[in-house]
Structure 1
Amino acid sequence: MDVTEDRPLALVTGAARGIGAEVARQLAEGGHAVLVTARDAAAAVAHADALVAEGHAAAGVALDVADPASVAALARELGGRPLRVLVNNAAAFADWTETATSADLEAARAVLDTNLLGPWRTVQALLPNLRAGAPARVVNVGSGSGSHGDPEFGLPTNPVSTTYAVSKAALHALTVKPAVELRDQGIVVNAADPGLTATAPGMADMGARPVPEGAASVLAALHAPAGTFTRDGETLPW
């Protein structure tokens, strides 16, 4: 890990591709030094190197948020370096056609370990860095599918994608707890929905938005009041 200390440090999980990679790019373009993290160290380094080639400050490092040892290793590598922004983007998915009654619960456990416990353990491990970087911001990448009131994607009208939806609903609930606990320490914690984003072939044909728009929706939460859940800076129902 070797990034300049002349710029505020941001760390993005699951940042080697898709929304996470674009979030890292937009943070770098905004003047941050960015740690690009992913389970695949080579992919993380490759994206960081591409940012450096464009004149940005970035470094790539391995991080599996579902592995406590991996999270602890990253915290040790950071040492006492102040962290200004943490974007918990890494996510796991289950069969999109599953329902609550058909779900494989062992597969569900693995998704929850990444989507809920992953951000939880990452915030715990990097809390000294966030305190050192205060005023600091944490954004948990949530989803309208985990909302109980979003008319577009919410749970009331959508019986499928159960594991993913429940994991994101739990992440939304988790967001509120540290938001309250840490707000007087200069650390703002929010959740953001990128919206349906074209992160895979064919999704644009389904009406998905371009990846830069989804990433911008995530980063808009950096400027929202503590403990909020937003899409494009607009408050969503929990």
Structure 2
Amino acid sequence: MPRYARSEREALADLLLDLGPDAPTIDEGWRTRDLAAHLTVRERRPDAAAGILLRPLRRYGEAVRRRTAARPYAELVARVRRPPVWSPVSNPLTDELVNTLEFFIHHEDVRRAQPGWLPRDVPAGFQVVLWKRAAGMARLALRRFPADLLVQAPGFGERTVGRGGDRLRVVGAPGELVLFLSGRQRVARVQVDGPSAPAERLRAASLGF
């Protein structure tokens, strides 16, 4: 069985090393060093990683991430590449389920912040996995959006979501839809068809989790 989480992790680690600690990323205010620290904390510091989701712990989690970012960069990347087997999010039982999207998205966060980037060829099997995740993301991220949204990945599937109203169609490859639905609309190669006002509202919406 393909291990997409592992292959995306390895590709991201290679790219982080190639670019060095101060290259830009799509994540606002973060350089490559910051992203490596985020991934390290997420996998090795459950106490601080809780701040990613829980607002009361956000300040503490950010403080730990900043301290982690001060460590030698090569060490941070090595930790990204080889997570501990005890990690609740990266052990052999959870890695593929929890980390496939995490590392695909962050790999693209780095790739698409570099000059001259181009979409990469994603294997068909991986695209099937990404569409399943994108369909679930659409249901959660867009369920309250005030429009009737048809989310389509040609050749893979479609899903209707939203609260109803103006009709919009969101079309893209599975990986592009994942990026769009995770709040990275500005770099996602996705086509939005429909009335201009709700379409622009969708492109500017705070999506993701």
TM-score normalised by L of structure 2: 0.29
Larger radius of gyration: 2
Higher helix share: 2
